[in-house]
């Protein structure tokens, strides 16, 4: 029962990703055109594992709005805004969807790689496995469809980004991202998570990161 449910959710997820990307690309393209900058705008997709136990995927994007360059060293720092949408699966418990938005700083010292520190805040909606029933006012029993809980989430991430090909500019990067996040209120308190994610990012305008 659980295996078939996981396979159904995975199939639905794989069908949903292209649609989400289709909607995300025009949004960030419009944002890029409306800002007076010519810096890279990144779209990314990540798969990850969560501790204490779970897995999921995330798609998102980051748009820079301010840049600082150290003339002596040539290092650059970009301040960015970002948003993400994703799915999270806790086996034998629930499936969830989440959305967050945040602020980050990209530290660029080379055209081949850069790091990013980010902070985000968002919403987390769980849908419990199995069937949930409720007792109606007339004494009847009926099933609650898509029953679950709503939570707030706060997340801190540090991502490492490496250009896939050595040529410059090249729009594709490998992205590795450990993160820590809080889910609350959870049993009148909070639940701590640690996640490791990996995937690819694409520079929408094809510019160099340096």
CATH of the domain at 38: 2.40.160.20
- In the three-class reduction of DSSP (H, G, I as helix; E, B as strand; rest coil), residue 22 is classed as helix
Structure tokens at 31: 């944002």
| Structural domain contains residue 61 | yes
Predicted confidence (pLDDT) at residue 93 exceeds the cutoff of 80 = yes
Report if residue 75 sits inside a domain: yes
Separation CA 31–CA 43 (nearest Å): 12
**pTM, 2 dp:** 0.76
Residue 209 domain flag: no
37 — pLDDT class (breaks 50, 70, 90): very low
Let me know if residue 172 belongs to a domain.
yes
Reduce the DSSP state of residue 98 to 3 states and report it. Answer: strand
Q: Where are the alpha helices (DSSP H) in the chain?
A: 2-34
The number of domains in the chain is: 1
Mean pLDDT, to the nearest integer, of 173-199? 93
Question: Residue 134 belongs to what domain range?
Answer: 2-203
Supply φ then ψ for residue 169, to 5 degrees.
-90, 150
């Amino acid at each position: 029962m659980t295996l078939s449910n996981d396979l159904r959710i995975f199939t639905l997820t794989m069908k949903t990703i292209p649609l989400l990307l289709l909607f995300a690309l025009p949004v960030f393209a419009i944002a890029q055109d409306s800002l007076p900058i010519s810096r890279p705008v990144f779209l990314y997709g990540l798969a990850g594992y969560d501790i204490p136990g779970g897995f999921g995927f995330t798609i998102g994007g980051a748009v820079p709005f301010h840049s600082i360059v150290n003339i002596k060293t040539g290092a650059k720092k970009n301040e960015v805004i970002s948003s993400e949408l994703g799915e999270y699966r806790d086996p034998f418990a629930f499936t969830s969807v989440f959305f967050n938005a945040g602020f980050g700083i990209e530290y660029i010292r080379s055209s081949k790689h850069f790091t990013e520190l980010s902070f985000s805040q968002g919403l987390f909606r769980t849908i419990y496995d199995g069937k949930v029933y409720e007792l109606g006012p007339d004494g009847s029993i009926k099933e609650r469809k898509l029953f679950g809980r709503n939570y707030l989430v706060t997340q801190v991430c540090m991502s490492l980004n490496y250009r896939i090909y050595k040529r410059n500019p090249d729009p594709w990067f490998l992205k590795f991202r450990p993160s820590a996040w809080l889910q609350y209120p959870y049993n009148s308190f909070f639940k701590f998570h640690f996640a490791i994610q990996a995937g690819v990012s694409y520079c929408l305008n094809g510019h160099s990161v340096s």
